[in-house]
Amino acid sequence: MIPKKFLQRFWAIAGAVSVRTKILGIVLALVILLGAGVTIQSRYALTTTMAAQLEEQSVSVSRDLAARSTDPILLNDLLSLHDLLDETRANNPNVRYAFIVDPQGQVIAQTFSGGFPPGLLSMNAVQPNEHHHTVLIKTNEGLVWDTAVPILDGKVGTARVGLSDASMQAALSTLTAQLLLTIVLVSATGILIAIILTWVLTRPILALVNATRAVAKGDFSRRVPRWANDEIGDLAEAFNKMTEELAHTDELRREREALRRQLLEKVIATQEDERRRIARELHDSTSQNLTSLLVGLRIMETNCAQCASKSKASDLRQVASRTLDEVHDLSMRLRPRSLDDLGLAAALERLAQEWQARYKIPVDVTIQLNARLPGDVETAIYRIVQEALTNVARHAHARSASIFVERRDDIVRTIVEDDGVGFDTSANYGERHLGLLGMRERAELLGGKLTIESTPELGTSIFIEIPLAKQQNPLVSETRI
Ligand SMILES: Nc1ncnc2c1ncn2[C@@H]1O[C@H](COP(=O)(O)OP(=O)(O)O)[C@@H](O)[C@H]1O
Ligand SMILES: [Mg+2]
């Protein structure tokens, strides 16, 4: 059993490489495995066959020598005997040595030029009842098949011949070299085929990967070609269908978003218009009427010094005066005239003053604007600050607050800060708390953004950035919402 850990480690490495490398690796491993198997088997088969052949040759050469050396030995013709030994060697390149031993065990003739090796004589002997006897001798230069054949049944001596395996080794080397060359050639072809194959196979996959990345970035126009009629082709088709669906859904979403924005813009514009109308009505008509009433009551109060209803008139005048104050207050909160007439800076100063007087929390106001801003931007900033201050009063338990507005380049930055209890900005406050949501919507409708930073026990800062469109002249602000 292969340990699981080893398999995991193997897959961690093999799995991480590209498909191209995987296929190349598999092809190479198979070719090398096949090549090694064939080489080992061929070498084994060749060795066995050649060993058997060499042994046979050894016997036949020895018997031949034994037969032909009988006469020279009997005639004691050492010269012919030497010639015979030389001939034996010359006739068969495998013959490493040959020698003749007399019945007393003395070497009569031999082929060794550098002296007869000690010990060789005793390494092989033939029994009188044997035709021949072969032993395998291991030497420094390889194996030697040594065969001893009795001459005239051993009565005149023994012929010994040694055949070396040099030719076998040479044949083995040639075979191995040829097989290695074949392996290299087959590997090269295999690699070439694998490269072509992976190129063909991975091209559509790479195209899919690239298209998927594009889709992930929001480009739904990408389509991949169907390369072949196989599974990858099916995948490409499914992918194209999916992107089409996504594009369609995205378009619907965009349309809805645009519609929602339009509606919201319209709602906000209508709301501001209506507020402006009611505020004007309250100021121009209701306040005027109340003022006339006040004046009338005062005249009544002074004229009838002895009247019984004098104190009644005085009471009524106080009620009318309080109502007038309340109407002023209401009109202010609905839509301060200063926002239309004097601009954002004046309106914010006024808002801060009244807020401070009402909630008894000091507010610091810093406004760095040297010109009027477009009407919609002024209204949006005013309403955001208004809501932010309301939140500070309702939730923060702050000791102080500050408002900061500045225009730098073409961006208006607004910061409303308090040193109150803070809150969790990541929490979802649900449908009933729409203040923060409305603030963000107003900023985003004008292409701006709203960021909230809040630290428990340290306070809350609300940052609003609204870009000013270049073509708009900040001094002319006719389109008001
Ligand atoms: N300045 C602030 N300090 C502490 N908490 C705040 C502040 N502003 C907002 N919050 C918290 O965020 C919540 C959501 O605010 P908002 O959307 O304006 O809804 P609402 O004011 O109606 O509760 C509030 O209920 C309050 O808990
Ligand atoms: Mg609120």
Which ligand has its closest atom nearest to the C-alpha of 437? Answer: 1
Question: Which residues are near ligand 1 (CB < 6 Å)?
Answer: 391-392, 394-396, 418, 420-423, 429, 433-436, 460
Residue nearest to atom 25 of ligand 1 (CA): 433
Pick the CATH number of 13-177 from 3.30.70.3460, 3.40.50.2000, 3.30.450.20, 3.30.950.10: 3.30.450.20
Q: How confident is the model at residue 383 (pLDDT cuts 50, 70, 90)?
A: very high
Is the pLDDT at 349 greater than 50? The verdict is: yes
Joined together, the tokens standing for residue 243 give: 């992107």
Tens of pLDDT, residues 396-412:
999 999 999 999 989 99
Residue 479: the pLDDT is: 42
Choose the residue to mutate in 361, 363, 423 for probing ligand 1, maximizing ligand atoms within 8 Å of C-beta.
423
Task: Give the residue whose CA is nearest to atom 8 of ligand 1.
Answer: 391
* pLDDT tens per residue, range 259-284: 999 999 999 999 999 999 998 888 88
Select from 442, 449, 481, 453 the least CA-distant residue to 467. Answer: 449
Considering the entire predicted model, what is its pTM? 0.59
Closest Cα to atom 20 of ligand 1: 433
Q: Which ligand is nearest to the CA of 422?
A: 1
CATH of domain 342-481: 3.30.565.10
* Rounded distance from Cα 391 to ligand 2 centre (Å): 5
Ligand 1 pocket: which of 359, 391, 433, 462 to mutate (most atoms within 8 A of CB): 391
Residue nearest ligand 1's atom 16 by CA: 435
End-to-end CA distance of the chain: 79
Q: How far apart are CA 144 and CA 372, in angstroms?
A: 114
User: Ligand 2 mean position to 280 CA, how many Å?
Assistant: 26
196-232 pLDDT, tens per residue? 888 888 888 888 899 999 999 989 888 888 888 888 8
Residues with CB under 5 A from ligand 2 (ion): 391, 435
- Rounded to whole angstroms, the Cα distance separating 309 from 186 reads 125
Task: Retrieve residue 430's tokens.
Answer: 């649900």
Per-residue confidence band for 331, with pLDDT thresholds at 50, 70 and 90: confident
Chain segment 165-188, per-residue pLDDT in tens: 888 889 889 999 999 999 899 889
Atom number, ligand 1, closest to the C-alpha of residue 418 = 1
User: Does position 478 have pLDDT exceeding 50, yes or no?
Assistant: no
- The span from the CA of 281 to the CA of 215, in Å, is 55
Higher-confidence residue of 421 and 21: namely: 421
Query: What mean pLDDT value characterizes the chain?
Result: 89
Ligand 1 atom 11: the closest Cα is on which residue? 423
Residue among 433, 442, 460 to mutate when testing ligand 1 (max atoms within 8 A of CB): 433
Q: Calculate Rg over the CA atoms of the chain.
A: 56
Domain ranges of the chain: 13-177, 249-335, 342-481
Cα(435) to centroid of ligand 1, in Å? 7
How confident is the model at residue 406, as a pLDDT? Answer: 96
- pLDDT per residue as tens digits for the range 112-128: 988 889 889 889 988 87
